[in-house]
Amino acid sequence: MKVTINGKEQEVSGIKSVRDLLDHLGLDCSKVAVEVNSCVIKRDEYDQTAISHGDVVEIVRFVGGG
Amino acid sequence: MKILVNERPVVVGEGTRLYELRDTLYPGADCIVVNGFPSPVDRTLREGDRVVFIKRGECPAPEEFEALLTARHTPGVHEKIRTATVGICGLGGLGSSVAVALGRIGIGRLILADFDVVEPSNLNRQCYFVDQIGMPKTEALKATLMRLNPYLKVVTHTQRVDEASVATLFEEVDVMVEALDRAEEKARLVEAFLTSYPTVPVVAASGLAGFGPANEIETRKVMKNLYVCGDFTSEAMEHQGLMAPRVGVAAHHQANAVLRLLLGYRP
């Protein structure tokens, strides 16, 4: 299915949830913020939040320092 | 013709000149700022001009002091930001510098939170001083802010901020600044604030360590209401420290983003 991730349309398969998507991208769940269709998703809902065809996803990965 | 002189409305006749006005109202003033810029020459005044007369070395009268503090602002900016509230979570290299920048331009109210005390290794990048070592950062920063702009309202919380407290501590902010240190804490704060207040913008930071080119620091809109300043990659770690120049670039990106948001512009 096609999903837009950080402004780029990408073809992904076998992705059902936000958690699946983060795993697919190799991202550490504890260091990201995720927005799906303009809604920020809580990390304890990553497993239950579905990713569907046409969804617009923004993912920010934070690095330490401040 | 209506003009402002040291922020007070004054009516002057058409054709009145700047130096003539100075000689009438502030004889001896040796610094004249017109519409935010020091004026080197005499000229005819125009409707709506904002003129500030300053005598170097002299402490202004209390009722004029605030006007002089903002004489060099772009006209109109201070009116818009003096009623704003900005929250800053984390008062280290980022947060202390953001607070000072916003304090200097006269943001109405700052809500500051940090649990920590000032220690010597902070001084290479954080807005604290040797005589503040051992003080809670909230107290030290508030004291500094009062010294540079006594008109600020500063609310402090000397505590760790977690998902539960972020919503109550920063309930009234117009813009939220994430200025924490660890990546996990940045992520948690951003998520907690935006899920509680999805329409209030957050300005976060990521990637500001080392001494790589300052030009690699940028401000990016990453979500509907989330802006991140930094290079997104330079992580603080062994052999890549945090130092004032680059941390300051990121902090001032954050401060400018806050200002633009308050003025209705996209950062």
Q: Which of A4, A29, A38, A40 to mutate to test the interface with B (most CBs of B within 10 A)?
A: A40
Do the chains contact at B207 and A39, CB–CB below 8 Å? no
Residue extents of the structural domains in chain B: 2-66, 78-262
In angstroms, the separation between the Cα of residue B21 and the nearest Cα of chain A is: 49
Mean per-residue pLDDT, B56-81: 88
In this predicted structure, what is the pLDDT of residue B157? 98
According to DSSP, residue B60 is labeled P
Return the pLDDT at B234. 97
- Name the phi and psi angles at B178, rounded to 5: -90, 120
Residues of B in contact with A43 (CB under 8 A): 187-188, 191
Q: What is the pTM of this model?
A: 0.94
Given the candidates 1.10.1380.10, 1.10.10.10, 3.10.100.10, 3.40.50.720, the CATH classification of the domain at B78-262 is: 3.40.50.720
Q: Is B235 close to A65, i.e. CB distance below 8 A? A: yes
Task: Domain A2-61: state its class.
Answer: alpha beta
Residue B195's closest chain A neighbor by CA?
Answer: A40
pLDDT of B51 > 90? The answer is yes
Does position B66 have pLDDT exceeding 90, yes or no?
no
Among B181, B207, B226, whose Cβ lies nearest the Cβ of A33? B226
Please name the residues in contact with B180: beta carbons below 8 A apart, sequence gap of 6 or more: A66, B89, B90, B92, B186, B189
**Distance of residue A48 Cα from the nearest chain B Cα, in angstroms:** 16
Region B59-88 average pLDDT: 90
- Percentage with pLDDT > 90 across chain A: 100
The mean per-residue pLDDT over the stretch A45-55 comes to 97
The reported pLDDT for the residue numbered B40 is 83
Q: Is B52 helix (H, G, I), strand (E, B) or coil?
A: strand
R_g of chain B, CA atoms, integer Å: 21
Closest residue to B235, CB basis, from A35, A38, A64: A64
Residue B61: pLDDT above 90? no
Distance CA B169, CA B230 (A): 26
Which residues are paired to A35 by β-bridges? A40, A58
pLDDT at B62 over 90: no
CA dihedral B232, B110, B160, A22 (to 10 degrees): -30
With H, G, I as helix, E, B as strand and everything else as coil, classify residue A14.
coil
For residues B110-117, average pLDDT: 98
| CB spacing of A62 vs B222 below 8 angstroms | no
The predicted structure's pLDDT at residue B63: 79
- Nearest of A48, A38, A14, A30 to residue B224 by alpha carbon: A38
User: A60, B222: Cβ pair inside 8 Å?
Assistant: yes
Question: Residue B259 pLDDT more than 90?
Answer: yes
pLDDT at position A59 over 90:
yes
Please name the helix (run of DSSP H) or strand (run of DSSP E) that holds residue B22, with its range, or none: helix B18-25
B194 contacts on A by Cβ (under 8 Å): 33, 40
Question: pLDDT > 90: what percent of chain B?
Answer: 92
Please state the three-class secondary structure of B180-240 as a single string: CCCHHHHHHHHHHHHHHCCCCCEEEECCCCCCCCHHHCEEEEEECCEEEEECCCCCCECCE
* Predicted confidence (pLDDT) at residue B58 exceeds the cutoff of 90: no
CATH for B2-66, options being 3.30.830.10, 3.40.50.720, 3.40.50.300, 3.10.20.30: 3.10.20.30
- The span from the CA of B129 to the CA of B123, in Å, is 7
A and B: number of Cβ contacts within 8 A:
93
What's the average model confidence in pLDDT over A17-42? 97
CB pair distance less than 8 Å for A31 and B187: yes
Query: Binning pLDDT at 50, 70 and 90, where does residue B65 land?
Result: confident
CA distance B64 to B5: 10
Spatial distance between the Cα atoms of B244 and B180, rounded to a whole number of angstroms: 16
> Quick one: pLDDT band at residue B48, thresholds 50, 70, 90?
very high
Give the DSSP letter of residue B135.
S
Q: Which residue has the higher pLDDT, B61 or B110?
A: B110
The structural domains of chain A, with segments of one domain joined by +, span 2-61
- Report the first-to-last Cα separation within chain B, whole angstroms: 36
What is the rounded average pLDDT of the residues B227-238?
A: 97
Q: B5: pLDDT confidence band, cut at 50, 70 and 90?
A: very high
Interface touch A66/B242, C-beta < 8 Å: yes
A19: pLDDT strictly greater than 90:
yes
Q: Given this chain, do its domains B2-66 and B78-262 carry the same CATH topology?
A: no
Report the pLDDT value the prediction gives residue B64, as an integer from 0 to 100.
Answer: 85
Closest residue to B206, CB basis, from A35, A40, A63: A63
